[in-house]
Amino acid sequence: MPGDYEQLVDEISAALGAPATLEDRDFRLIAFGAHEGDDDSMMDPVRTRSILQRRSTAAVRAWFEGFGIARAKSALRIPPDPAAGVFKGRICLPVRHRGIVHGYVWLLDDGHLSNLELGGRGTPPDPRIEQAMETAARIGALLAAEARAGAELGDLLRELLLSGASERQAAAETLRGALRPGATEAPLALVAVAPWDTSDTDAAPLPGLPGLLAASAMPLGTAAGAGGATGAGERPGGPPGAGSRSGASGAGSRSGAPGTGARPGAPGHTLAALVRLRTAGGLAPAHSAAEHLLRSPRAGSGAAAGIGAAREELTELPGAWREALAAARAARAEPQLGPVAQWDAIGAYRLLTGLPSDRSDETIRPLLSPAHAELARTAEAFLDCAGQASRTAQALGIHRQTLYYRLGRVEKLTGLDLDEGTDRLLLHMALKSARL
């Protein structure tokens, strides 16, 4: 399939005599056309970055979208802007299929295309532009077909992850049959990205990533038998006592890679991504996929990713999904764990994420009010430092007497004795759980 895109982009480049690139809707490079000659002046920083790093920055994306490219149905001209790194003008060909834009073909213009008629307002376009737009439509059909196939895989992945014990084997076999041959012969890992914005009903694309087999936007709180580890989109608003929820809504899929099978309208989603590994102990492909997904515009504010332990069998994926969700929650709660956390590296959060997320101990509840956020932060730091006053005071940048005063207030507020190990354990667990 990549060769098909390159061939079609080459056709456009040859027809118009200009370097051409094909990018998806997130401005990630899919293919670029060959261009004869050694004239480096035909390159500019934006195109060079697109080719070398296979993506453009958010600022570049916003600048181009300001010209209405997402709504355009015909070719349009983009002027140069050296301040934005756009040293060359461009002609943008929207890549559409059945009214949905799946990407863009970009043609660099050093001035030799300035007299090319793009059409509009009763003026027919130059025949070369007509030919290029016909080729862009063929590209759109290919991207749309991949999006549909990806959406089907996403549906099957979601069904497996939410399946009960009696349905699991059948769901696994259905997904195995839909994946490309040999895809499940290597170990697999699941990545959870939370929150994941699915508000774009035009099937916005996921990036094409090595090893990414399928992806599905899962409504928050969906994991078969997940207990308390289902709220991967919950987000603490700073220290315990200042928590808030954030999430995304809608649905999305990928043109040119496995897509999501979620449906729009839910209050929030987490992305589940199934990644093929090289070895059971090597989670590098999963980390790479997680890092790329976190750079997507659909990764919500403060998003984090979790990775479950590797699995050999598809029937084991629901357990891996619970682990990935828990790791994503932990990464959002503890910045030092994120933005990408593995299940086997989140420590006590392996237990804490299994607790009901809507309950807090009555003894600790007064400390979790916003009015006592400073006391909660002090108590948590004290317990993180194993009760060592000098370390805690240094970490917080306060005098030891100030620390003792605050800890005394914590004891009065909660009725706990911080010289007692069990009281310390209860307080520490409650403060960590509040972050979730």
Over residues 21-39, the pLDDT tens digits come to 999 887 888 888 765 545 5
To the question of pTM greater than 0.75 for the whole model, the response is: no
In this predicted structure, what is the pLDDT of residue 240?
39
Could you tell me the two tokens for 100? Answer: 């949905």
**Category of 356 on φ-ψ map: left (φ > 0), alpha (ψ -120 to 50) or beta:** beta
In this predicted structure, what is the pLDDT of residue 208?
65
In this predicted structure, what is the pLDDT of residue 26?
79
In this predicted structure, what is the pLDDT of residue 255?
35
Could you tell me the two tokens for 375? Answer: 């006391």
Amino acid at the residue 30: I
In this predicted structure, what is the pLDDT of residue 302?
87
Question: Could you count the other beta carbons within 10 Å of the beta carbon of residue 395?
Answer: 15
Can you tell me the distance from the alpha carbon of 251 to that of 266, in angstroms, rounded to the nearest whole number? Answer: 8
Sorted by sequence, the CB contacts under 8 Å of residue 53 that are 6+ apart come out as: none
Amino acid at the residue 169: Q
**Do you know the residue count of the chain?**
436
Can you tell me the distance from the alpha carbon of 258 to that of 57, in angstroms, rounded to the nearest whole number? Answer: 23
In this predicted structure, what is the pLDDT of residue 111?
79
In this predicted structure, what is the pLDDT of residue 12?
93
Q: Exposure of 38 by Cβ count < 10 A (0-12 exposed, 13-18 middle, 19+ buried)?
A: exposed
Alpha-carbon dihedral sign for residues 130, 135, 137, 138: positive
Alpha-carbon dihedral sign for residues 127, 128, 134, 137: negative
In this predicted structure, what is the pLDDT of residue 150?
81
Element of type H or E holding 328 = helix 317-333
- Asked whether the bond before 339 is cis by omega within 30 degrees of 0, the reply is yes
Amino acid at the residue 411: E
Mean pLDDT per 10-residue section of the chain, whose length is 436 residues:
81 90 86 61 55 61 87 90 77 93 89 84 89 95 86 92 94 92 91 87 56 89 51 39 34 36 52 92 92 86 93 96 95 91 94 79 88 95 95 95 96 95 93 86
Backbone angles phi, psi at 205, to 5 degrees: -80, 155
User: pLDDT of 157-175, one tens digit each?
Assistant: 999 999 999 999 999 999 9
Distance of CA 191 to the CA centre of its chain: 10
Cβ atoms of residues 300 and 195 within 8 Å: yes
